[in-house]
Structure formats: structure tokens, C-alpha cells
Amino acid sequence: MVGIVIISHSLKAAEGIKEIAQQMGREVPIVAVGGTEDGDLGTDPLAIKEAIESIGETDGVLLLVDLGSAVMNTQLAIDMLQDELQKRVVLCNAPILEGAVVAAVEAAMGHTLAQVKRAAEEAGQMEKLL
């Protein structure tokens, strides 16, 4: 099963998104990471790396990020991973909340990492208003 890491500048935001996504895929490994070591807003490459490693034994790990520097720090975290795990980790260009929910559903259905990533990225095109 594909695992999901939600990366936000705010740990509270990441945990809230995780809570919603976990409702859609209860058995899906989902980890929330965010904020700095001293509790401020920001992202920490080492914390992101540890979050990825904590679910690295899955069929792959999808990474969802919120804003600019989260992308940079996530890319740094990926570079710090062992080669074998790096091959099973993808950074996703999806809206963090909608992407996490759709990714959790897709992962729960047993879809591949590529399928989960594609569905999460397509969530950016979802109509909210009819």
C-alpha cells in the first residue's frame, strides 16, 4: 500500500489534513510533519526525512506540500534518503488538502504510486461549486 506524508509550514495544519484524509483511508499509512524544531512556522528537512522513513516500508511514499520553501526542504529531505527509498518516493504537485483526501482513497484501493499521484494531482481540477 502507498503511504502519504503531508508537509506543511504548520504542524497543526498538517495534522488537521491528516485527520481528514485518514477518515477516507483508515488503513493507509499517513504521517503529518510541519513546523520547526522550536515550534515556529516552517519546515525542517530532517523532520521530513524522518517522516518519509517512518513509512518507507510501503509500496511507495507520496509527498504533499503546502508552500514554496516546503518544496525546497522536501527535495533536500529526498536527497538525504538512501537510494533504494529515494526510488519509491515522489513529490506531488497537488492541492494539499484535496490531494491528500483523494490520495488516501486511491491508496486504500490498492493503486500504485503512479496512480495515486496522478489522482491527487487531478484533484486540483475538481469543481467545488456547481
The residues annotated with a catalytic role in the active site are 9
What is the spatial distance between Cα 83 and Cα 96, in angstroms, rounded to a whole number?
26
Gap between the Cα atoms of 77 and 59, Å rounded: 19
Cell reading at 2: 502507498
- 108, containing H or E segment: helix 96-108
CA 92, distance to chain mean position in Å, is 8
What does the alpha-carbon distance between residue 30 and residue 103 come to, in Å, rounded to a whole number?
10
Q: Which three cell numbers stand for residue 41?
A: 512556522
Q: Count of CB atoms within 10 A of residue 125's CB? A: 8
